[in-house]
Amino acid sequence: MKVTRRLLVLLLSLLMVFMLTGCGSGDNTSENTEPAPQEISYEPSVLHVYAGAGLRQAMDPIGAAFEEKYNCKVEYTYGGSAQNCSQIILLKKGDIFVPGAEEEVEPLREEGLAAKEQRVIYHIPVIAVPIDNPAGITGLKDFAKPGVKVGLGDPTANPIGKIADKIFEKNGIMTDVEKNVEVRTPTVNELIAYLGLGQIEASIVWEENTVNATDKIKTIAIPENENLIKTIPIVELTCSENKEMAGKFIEFCATGEGKEIFKELGYKPYDE
């Protein structure tokens, strides 16, 4: 009788161990059959991007983030949009063009060098003055006051120069403003330097250009009915030798991490 009870206890114990082991084994099997997420790896490559000098503050960190994600080094050529266009047309080399305004793409379109375009952000002109605003500038009309030291972009070299002239023409004060212009610069960055040093008293720049100079420069918004707001596209070039990464770069800037970097730096995304 005792032997029978002991045998029964032993059999029950073995059965429980078997059931527990079986359950555990089933769970492991289920877990092991789930597909593990696969990381996409990319071969090292290079992307050559022509960009407006005034966009450097955003394009540098965008390039670094893109390289980290896609193993693709972004090499920039910064300069005035007209200068960049001339270089692209002459050399027929490069992958991406990022101008300061959409109309700057037209020479590339005419040469059949613009393969794909994607509007990414708005470019909003603002009035910029030294932090102490020595000329007492409050609006566009003050650029026309006698004696105001005005600095503007060169309309033959960069979009901000063209836009500024068109804004003054729109408001009927171009002739008087031109009398006060002391310097025309090939890039917007030089206007920021002139303002910071107090060598000019008023200028028209892009809204985001003064983000890192708020201790030296003050901005004044231009009423929408007086302003000319532009859009910035990113253009894939037909001469691109890295079309896969060129496409990914456009997407990255329009909808991915690049878009968030633009927003952090004060740009307004085109789709918002």
- Are 206 and 125 in contact by the 8 Å Cβ rule? The answer is yes
Fold of 125-220: D-Maltodextrin-Binding Protein; domain 2 (3.40.190)
d(CA 229, CA 216): 25
Which tens digit of pLDDT belongs to each residue from 70-110? Answer: 999 999 999 989 999 999 999 999 999 999 999 999 999 99
DSSP state of 238: T
For residue 241, pLDDT over 80 is answered with: yes
- Are 233 and 99 in contact by the 8 Å Cβ rule? The answer is yes
Average pLDDT along the chain = 89
Per-residue confidence band for 32, with pLDDT thresholds at 50, 70 and 90: low
> Domain limits of the chain?
45-122+231-269, 125-220
Spatial strand order in the sheet of 150-153 = 181-185, 150-153, 202-206, 125-130, 217-220
Per-residue confidence band for 41, with pLDDT thresholds at 50, 70 and 90: confident
What's the pLDDT score for residue 23? Answer: 47
Give the CA radius of gyration of the chain. Answer: 30
**Residue 266 Rama label (left phi>0; alpha psi -120 to 50; beta):** left
* CA distances for 65 relative to 111, 137, 258, 259, angstroms: 32, 39, 8, 11
36-40, 204-208, 248-252 — most confident range? 248-252
Q: What is the dihedral of CA 77, 80, 86, 87, to 10 degrees?
A: -10
Identical fold between 45-122+231-269 and 125-220:
yes
Per-residue confidence band for 33, with pLDDT thresholds at 50, 70 and 90: low
In CATH terms, 45-122+231-269 corresponds, of 3.40.50.300, 3.40.50.720, 3.40.190.10, 1.10.287.110, to: 3.40.190.10
The pair phi, psi for residue 122, each rounded to 5°, is -90, 150
- Are 127 and 139 in contact by the 8 Å Cβ rule? The answer is yes
Mean pLDDT lowest among 85-89, 114-118, 186-190: 186-190
Q: What is the pTM of this model?
A: 0.74
